[in-house]
Amino acid sequence: MGYRYDLHVHTEEGSACGRSPGADMADFYKSQGYAGIVITDHFFTGNTRPDRNLPWKEWLAEFKKGYEHAKARGDEIGLSVFYAWEHSFHGNDFLTFGLDNDWLEEHPEIVGLDIVDYLKLVRDAGAFVSHAHPFFEAGYIPYIRLLPRYVDAVEVVNAPKGEFINGMALHYARSYDLIETGGSDCHRVGSSPLAGIELEHPVSSLCELILAMRNREPAE
């Protein structure tokens, strides 16, 4: 049996659309047999929970609370919990892995950057970026953007999005030889179905998880 990791999880502390606290999400994923999760709450540019009028450093501290609560509970129950965020640009979403609040404190300008400039900046800093549900359509999304030269990966399985959207994402990823990732886009305890990636070995850090994805290790 492999080790399952969900790369796309929200909390009510960090995401305005989140419906369950981080600690409860940790308990839920442990009960479902997962080895770990990545908390990817909606960033300043998206459907975030913390008050955008807060000073930048205070906003970041509030934003990270969902992760911190999930991490504390995960440490108690044996679930790995890692920190990332979902950056939005006019409704198009990019899961950004590998940077932390120390880096964010030094780069408040990212909230106003064009998406190409954002992607260049974070990837130059060492981030791993997966384009989340790139073919999802909704009233608040004016158009679909595909940026194959500026991302590392494509979320080819987003549990609630359905066969057509995921199928188009898979075709896109394979057409450009981009890394394939999966996640549940989970916003509440009890959500079904769940998704993610499965590895043949456990990872103890986000760096190890990113390395496994870069090496295209997820088990088939």
Residue 140 is part of a domain; what is its CATH number?
Answer: 3.20.20.140
Cα separation, 156 vs 180, whole angstroms: 6
- Centroid of chain to Cα 164: 21
pLDDT score for 218: 75
12 lies in a domain? yes
219 lies in a domain? no
Cα separation, 163 vs 105, whole angstroms: 39
Tell me the pairing of strands 153-158 and 128-132. parallel
Cα separation, 49 vs 66, whole angstroms: 10
E strands along 45-145, which residues? 80-89, 92-97, 128-132
Tell me the pairing of strands 3-9 and 36-42. parallel
Please name the amino acid found at residue 27: D
70 lies in a domain? yes
In the block, tokens 């975030």 appear at 48
220 lies in a domain? no
In the block, tokens 């995401």 appear at 15
Report the domain count for the chain.
1
- Kindly state the helix (H) or strand (E) to which residue 203 belongs, with its residue range: none
Question: Which token pair is 151?
Answer: 């991302």
50 lies in a domain? yes
134 lies in a domain? yes
Residue 47 domain boundaries:
3-214
pLDDT in tens, the chain (220 residues): 699 999 999 999 999 999 999 999 999 999 999 999 999 999 999 999 999 999 999 999 999 999 999 999 999 999 999 999 999 999 999 999 999 999 999 999 999 999 999 999 999 999 999 999 999 999 999 999 999 999 999 999 999 999 999 999 999 999 999 999 999 999 999 999 999 999 999 999 999 999 999 999 976 4
Sign of CA dihedral 28, 30, 34, 37: positive
Please name the amino acid found at residue 38: V
Question: Which token pair is 45?
Answer: 């540019």
Best CA proximity match to 3, nearest among 42, 34, 45: 34
For 19, which DSSP code?
-
Burial environment of residue 81 by CB neighbours within 10 A (0 to 12, 13 to 18, 19 or more): buried
Percentage helix, strand, coil for the chain under 3-state DSSP, each rounded to 5: 35, 25, 45
pLDDT score for 220: 46
- Kindly state the helix (H) or strand (E) to which residue 7 belongs, with its residue range: strand 3-9
From its phi and psi, is residue 178 left (phi > 0), alpha (psi between -120 and 50) or beta? beta
Question: Which token pair is 175?
Answer: 């057409």
